[in-house]
Amino acid sequence: MPHSHPYCSARQPGVCAGSVIALYATAAEGTVTEPDPPPPPEVVTGTVISAQANFMRVLVDETCVAGGVELLCVVRAVLKKIKRRILVGDQVQVGRIDWDDKRGAVEELCERRNHVLEPPVANVDRLLILFALTDPPIEEKQLTQFLVSAEALSLPEPPLLVLNKADLVSDTDRARWIERMQEWGYEATTVSVWTGEGIQELLEEISGSVTVLAGPSGVGKSSMVNAMRKLRLGASRTERRAQDREFSGLVDIATKEVGAKSGRGRHTTRHCELLPLPGQCLVADTPGFGLPTQSIDALTPVELMECFPEIRNGRVKNGPCAFSDCTHQHEPGCVIGQDWERHDLYSQMVVDAKANERKRRDTGKIKEDREEDMRTVSAADGGTRLEPKLKKSRHRRVSRRSQMMEVQALVESGDDGIEWEDWQEWGSGW
């Protein structure tokens, strides 16, 4: 009978408890224990991708441990009190995070690089202006307003002009519009959301940037974003089914047809939202609107000139005008001239810009007058407050005695410059 340890198992002769312990110890020595995961951060930095009412969705930066996570956040009251408005596209710091429910509070607004007024988006790299070749047709004034508004922003990248619904027009019409836009100073890109033509190239063009998609209603902005998100690029039916399975959890943005009676677009997108796209790209799908007036109304005539490529290119080609303050309308020695398509539109916009400048100047003068009519006084809480100055001519009636003393002083001084109207005015109160 083989030798056995006193603590051998009766069921397995020859196998002792000490051997089993040794085997487990050997196995434990070879086991690599996983390190504990780092605790979730208490404060993260992210990008506001949507804002509705008092709630904001923040996409956590990829550099953080929880990169790519979306948090539903509220804004701290202190930011509201100091009236710091947070826009879609803003970089913010989020604290008080509940990682289980994916909720938090926006505690700080980071510094902005820039912001767009219409639509209100911050930290924008490029503006993509989308119009349709037909249904609804292009209006020259409306397109010019969008282009001028984009030029006035001075973004890091020049505006990108895209003409959708290329499948609904002939090749001749498409070529005519491309040539016409070249005369305006823009290289237009024609695409078709329906067939997928040009969508892949457009996505590559805007990759790695924050792009605002702007344009009137009905031109296919939401449809284009849907096409980019799902990469529906006119593939075969089998490939499309595979793509649909891959993106089965992705909800399409709502879209609508162009109105049958008016021939114009109908509002579908109700608020601005940043949507992640392939290629590390964020695109802001914005509500359609007629004319971007706010940014244009703020332009001076000199600033307006710089928003027309025809003028910029003309100066590069022909040199400066004879007069430095030339408005390129009727001045002698102008190298730009009037022989370009948008000159009439430009001239009308110059008139409007001058009127807006006068209005701002008058408003500023009224504001200065109001400030001169105010004085600073001590408040009850130890601080200071402003109150209007009382003017004697407006708020106090001069007594008869004061009037008589003033007249007597003038008479004794021998001043012969007193007019009859003055005597009548002084005597009326006696």
What is residue 254's predicted lDDT score, i.e. its pLDDT? 47
Return the closest-CA partner of residue 199 out of 124, 130, 266: 130
As a whole number, mean pLDDT of residues 388-414 equals 62
- Contact (CB, 8 A) for 237 and 207: no
> What is the maximum alpha-carbon separation in the chain?
151
DSSP helix/strand/coil, 217: coil
What is the CATH number that goes with domain 44-112? 2.40.50.140
What is the CATH number that goes with domain 121-291? 3.40.50.300
Q: Which of 82-96, 222-236, 332-346 is predicted with the least confidence, judged by mean pLDDT? A: 222-236
> 44-112 with 299-367: one CATH topology?
no
pLDDT greater than 80 at residue 30: no
- CA gap 168, 394 in Å, rounded: 70
pLDDT greater than 60 at residue 239: no
Cβ burial of 61 (10 Å; 0-12, 13-18, 19+) is middle
Compare 262 and 174 and report the one with higher pLDDT: 174
Any idea how long the chain is? 430
What is residue 77's predicted lDDT score, i.e. its pLDDT? 79
What is residue 193's predicted lDDT score, i.e. its pLDDT? 92
- Contact (CB, 8 A) for 146 and 215: yes
As a whole number, mean pLDDT of residues 320-334 equals 90
What is residue 242's predicted lDDT score, i.e. its pLDDT? 46
What's the whole-model pTM score? 0.67
Measure CA of the first residue to CA of the last residue in the chain; give whole Å.
Answer: 146
As a whole number, mean pLDDT of residues 138-147 equals 94
What is residue 5's predicted lDDT score, i.e. its pLDDT? 45
What is the CATH number that goes with domain 299-367? 1.10.40.50
% of the chain exceeding 90 in pLDDT: 40
Tens digit of each residue's pLDDT (9 = 90 or more) over 263-291: 444 444 457 788 888 878 889 877 755 56
Return the closest-CA partner of residue 327 out of 359, 303, 357, 295: 303
The neighbour count for residue 286, using CB atoms within 10 Å, is 22
- Contact (CB, 8 A) for 136 and 264: yes
As a whole number, mean pLDDT of residues 49-69 equals 84
Tens digit of each residue's pLDDT (9 = 90 or more) over 187-228: 999 999 999 999 999 999 999 899 998 888 889 888 898 888
Distances (CA, A) of 408 to 74, 420, 422: 72, 16, 13
Domain range summary for the chain, segments of one domain joined by +: 44-112, 121-291, 299-367, 397-427
Over the chain, what is the mean pLDDT?
Answer: 77
